[in-house]
């Protein structure tokens, strides 16, 4: 592993578990085993390093989510796979995302509330990309082909429920299986399409 990747992986893990402002550069240096000069050769500031961490997490999360939804052919299957995957992540059964500590993007956005800050913009872009992923998957199902508005509305509904599930799990330190109830999901989908 090259030094830049080593630094990003160390920083991402620390930032995600402890919070961006709570982790100093010295902790990242110690954890990654690189010299300060090496870190600053790759990143001119802590904000630049945070942005690199957000970009990596975005890639990992979206690739993981894409794989979870890849074989879904109906809106119900999309919803069922989505909430099943989130439950597995919340229950620490998804090694590529690491131990669950809520949404890194929500956590980071809370620490950088200015909407035009580069970190806040990356957090917003991540949420938009997840919403787009859901929309793309739903709009290609047989039930929603050619119904872009309904696909968009259902994607937004699933995204809102997803965000609530993640936030609730982070605050309560427990998973909620409500959205894994097939009857509830069938009713939710039926009322939306």
Supply the pTM of this predicted model: 0.92
Confidence of residue 184 (pLDDT cuts 50, 70, 90): confident
Confidence of residue 192 (pLDDT cuts 50, 70, 90): confident
Helix-, strand-, coil-residue percentages of the chain, each rounded to 5: 75, 0, 25
Query: How far is 97 from 129, CA to CA, in rounded Å?
Result: 17
Structure tokens given for 14: 């620390």
Cα dihedral value 102, 105, 108, 113, nearest 10: -120
pLDDT in tens, 32-66: 999 999 999 999 999 999 999 999 999 999 999 99
- Please tell me the CATH code under which domain 52-192 is placed: 1.10.357.10
pLDDT score of 26 more than 90 = yes
Percent of all residues in the chain with a pLDDT value above 70, rounded to a whole number: 99
Average pLDDT, the chain: 94
As to burial, measured by CB atoms within 10 angstroms (0-12 exposed, 13-18 middle, 19+ buried), residue 14 is buried
Q: Give the start-to-end residue ranges of the domains of the chain.
A: 52-192
Confidence of residue 109 (pLDDT cuts 50, 70, 90): very high
Q: How far is residue 111 CA from its own chain's centroid?
A: 16
């Amino acid at each position: 592993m090259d030094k830049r990747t080593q630094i990003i992986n160390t920083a991402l893990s620390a930032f995600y578990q402890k919070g961006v402002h709570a982790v100093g550069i010295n902790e990242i240096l110690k954890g990654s085993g690189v010299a300060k000069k090496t870190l600053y050769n790759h990143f001119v500031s802590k904000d630049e390093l945070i942005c690199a961490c957000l970009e990596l997490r975005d890639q990992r999360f979206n690739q993981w989510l894409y794989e979870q939804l890849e074989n879904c052919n109906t809106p119900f299957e999309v919803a069922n796979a989505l909430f099943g995957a989130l439950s597995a992540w919340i229950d620490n059964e998804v090694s590529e995302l690491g131990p669950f500590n809520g949404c890194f993007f929500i956590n980071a956005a809370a620490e950088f509330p200015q909407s035009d800050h580069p970190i806040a913009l990356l957090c917003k872009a991540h949420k938009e990309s997840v919403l787009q992923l859901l929309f793309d998957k739903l709009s290609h199902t047989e039930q929603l082909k050619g119904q872009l508005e309904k696909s968009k509305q259902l994607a937004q509904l699933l995204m809102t429920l997803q965000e609530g599930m993640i936030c609730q799990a982070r605050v309560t330190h427990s998973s909620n299986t409500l959205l894994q109830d097939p009857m509830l999901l069938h009713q939710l989908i039926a009322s939306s399409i």
